Structure 1
Amino acid sequence: MLNFVLFGPPGAGKGTQSEKLIARYQLNHISTGDIFRAHISNQTPLGQQVSALIADGQLVPDAITIAMLEEEVEKNPGAKGFIFDGFPRTVAQAAALDEFLESKGSSIAAVIALDVDQEELTKRIAERQKLTNRVDDQADKLQKRIEEYFSKTIHVLPYYEAQNKLSKVNGIGKIDDIFAELCEVVDKY
């Protein structure tokens, strides 16, 4: 199984690039954001809990996120591999993911970080908000999410760098150019 983490702040292009990577490499996509939105739209008890946290700009607790992610992996036993999008967001989540995948006889091949500055992120998410009306893209919530990324989530990168699994890709430019750089990384594995 070939597993990758696509890493970056909100608005870095993880969703856009994941779609292209899935099509090219036939990997399954697991986006914690998509999982959360599905639970929220179906108004499950978990969805109501997650909705309140996201509406306040907070991260969902590790235990909830990890359980949902493991459930998604288990739903796809024949997968060639996975692209994890929006996960892990903490070192504890990264360690839990490593432990879970190891129990399945697998591991993370590489973590690909999309580098995008805050000014570009703000522009992209403002545009996305116009198109999708996602509640987590509202200006006040967005600022909290970006701050959360740069104060907490970014600390996951040294965890993977210590394992020699980190690759950085410039996330600013034409979508196809960024995709080509991502493919160069994936093709190594």
Structure 2
Amino acid sequence: MLGPPGAGKGTQAARIAAHFGIPHLLTGDMISQAIASGTAAGLSPQAAMERGELLSDELIVTFVDERIREATRRSGFVLDGFPRTLGQASTLDAIRAQSGSAIDLVLELLPDHAVLLERILKRAEVAWLSGRTARRDDNSEALNVRLQAYEAQTAPLSICYQEHGYP
């Protein structure tokens, strides 16, 4: 699943995973669990996320490698939030080669900026109204930083996957 923050990747990935009865591997949840655990592994991603920055490839891979290998041994999975860079895509290729798995489909969601902003502000409002804490990066300033990071680091994946023949 590819797309900028607020594009609906999580919503659509969850629906696809439920439809096919396969795991939804949500990188953000893996990282949030590490942060909530209060361990050293959660400190570095927390500070970067609060600034709206993407996490380093090395850090992300430590969170997702084991989960991908585990899901591959079962019936497949839907990836949400990984890969986000060409380096992560290369790592995913190595993981897939070792496990004998394949990419069946790459989906990219591309709503315009106004829709993205509306969605993340609504997500923050819903969290607040339900008594939960909103994500610290669900605001217009962090969205702009995240969109710049998306354009620079993640958007090239779309071209890469198209060149490799993925729909």
TM-score by length of 2: 0.90
Cα distance in 1 between the residues matched to 2:116 and 2:157: 20
Q: Structure 1 residue 152: deviation in Å?
A: 2.1
Corresponding position: 1:67 with 2:75: no
Contact 2:72 2:101 in 1 (8 A): no
Cα deviation for residue 53 of structure 1 reads 1.1
Q: Partner of 1:163 in structure 2?
A: 164
Percent identity at matched positions?
33
How many angstroms apart in 2 are the aligned matches of 1:103 and 1:12? Answer: 31
2:7 is the alignment partner of 1:12 = yes
Unaligned runs of 5+ in 2: 128-133
In 2, the alpha carbon distance for the partners of 1:162 and 1:99 equals: 18
* Residues 1:41 and 2:36 aligned together: yes
Structure 1 runs of 4+ aligned residues shifted over 3 Å read 74-78
Per-residue deviation, residues 90-135 of structure 1 (Å, max 9, x unmatched): 1111111011111101121111101211111011111001112111
The answer to whether the Cα contact below 8 Å between 2:51 and 2:137 also exists between their aligned partners in 1 is: no
Of 46, 51, 68, which aligns to 1:51? 46
Separation in 1 of the partners of 2:151 and 2:88? 17
Q: CA RMSD in A?
A: 1.4
Corresponding residue of 1:30: 25
C-alpha deviations, 1:77-99, integer Å up to 9, x for none? Answer: 64211111011111111111011
More helix by percentage: 2
Deviations 1:39-60 (A, max 9, x none): 1111121111110111122111
Q: Name 1:178's counterpart in structure 2.
A: none
More strand by share: 1
Task: Provide the residue aligned with 1:85 in structure 2.
Answer: 80
Contact kept? 1:28, 1:79, Cα under 8 Å: no
Tell me which amino acid in the other structure corresponds to 1:130.
E
Which consecutive unaligned segments of at least 5 residues does structure 1 have?
1-5, 167-189
Aligned residues: 161
Stretch of structure 1 that moved more, 69-78 or 111-120? 69-78
Residue 130 of structure 2 is aligned to residue 129 of structure 1: no
Tell me the equivalent position of 1:102. 97
Partners of 2:13 and 2:24 within 8 A in 1: yes
Q: Is the 8 A contact 1:125 1:137 kept in 2?
A: yes
What is residue 109 of structure 2 aligned with on the other side?
114
SS of the equivalent of 2:84 reads coil
Look up the match of 2:152. 151
SS at 2:78 equivalent: strand
Q: TM-score, normalising length from structure 1?
A: 0.80
Contact 1:40–1:51, Cα closer than 8 Å, also in 2: yes
